[in-house]
Amino acid sequence: MPLACQHLWRTRAALGIDWLLRSIRACGGEGSAVYYSRWFRPLRGWMWPYPETTGYIIPTLIRYGHASGRRDCIEVALRQADWILSLQDPDGALPGSHVTRGRKAAPSIFNTGQMLFGLCAAFDETGREGYLAGAHAGARWLAANLDCERGVWGAHAYVDGFSPAYYTRVAWPMLEVAARRPDEDVRGAARTALETIAGWRCPNGAIRNWGFKPDAPAFTHTIAYTLRGFWESGRLLEESRYRDLATVAADTLRRRLELRGRLAGAYDLAWQGRYGYTCLTGNCQLALLWMRCHAAQPDPRWLSAACKALQPVLAAQRIRHADPNVRGAIPGSTPFWGRYLTMRYPNWATKFFVDALLLADRQVEALREDASCG
């Protein structure tokens, strides 16, 4: 059974990677298209290139390139890092939204953070100082824009004036940069933001403001952003309390998956789920988090939950389709008209799907090796 699963995962990951590369070619080789949708883009299908998610697609392409021996994936990834550097302002800021006909949008806190992942990965791959310098400039801009007294970012937000809990995923890349180029200002700002968000934890483990809007139910996508940001920041800071906070909430979601047989598309602060649809991106992200929990403290329940969360995503991946631009893609929701990215194939859904399959393959392979040694 593990070998059959691994063969399936590798086949599906390859299809996902081919779709991501197609989304980059559709944008002339600079940036991955935000999404593909004949419903919203009837003539072309492809939306404009999206710097934010292109930033964190870079490490996915590099990881896959090494795992599969496909050097072309690594070369494409590095070209995307060069493109991101071309978009950076002199003060280190990077743009929000998409790039339309070469015109970039205003700076964004969250999007800048996500592009730091790509610049760090490009530096790790090549050792080129320019990538790290760009990442450091971006991290310095993020630190300078934090309201240190309140521990929030008050500007450059998706919703004006709203500093969401999923900004833990801004603190995480700031700490990644500081791990490569020590900077106490960057590290301290990240810690300040994490402390503020940790203070939003409810007694039941849920975290206020972890959705796109205040007091609204949160998609599993932004819930997973928040929890993974805490988990990885705790790893980098070597502070278990952040990881413990994330693990408690992750286990609550795991138990709800086991009880209901599937994840809801969104949850409110009382953990009441919206079960009319599944946010497939969130399923992949939570599978990644559960596997990270398993790697830290091995427990088969984490791996079981991850595999169960990936089942509806595998079922939703478009394998055969009359439109070749859909093949290999992951929709935003199942059903296709669900509330998350309705009737679209967002690039980040496929990115997190590939990440989850690569990690699942590695963890099952490690279990097989342990069993053979035993």
Domain range annotation of the chain? 2-373
Top-confidence residue, 285 or 322? 285
- 208-215 mean pLDDT: 93
pLDDT of residue 1: 47
C-alpha 271 chain-centroid distance: 22
Mean pLDDT, the chain, as a whole number? 96
158, 120 contact by CB (below 8 A):
no
Which CATH architecture fits 2-373? Alpha/alpha barrel (1.50)
Percentage of residues in the chain having pLDDT higher than 70: 97
| Euclidean distance between CA atoms 45 and 329, whole angstroms | 13
Overall size of the chain counted in residues = 374
Residue 374 predicted with pLDDT over 60: no
H helices present in 127-219, as ranges: 129-144, 168-180, 184-198
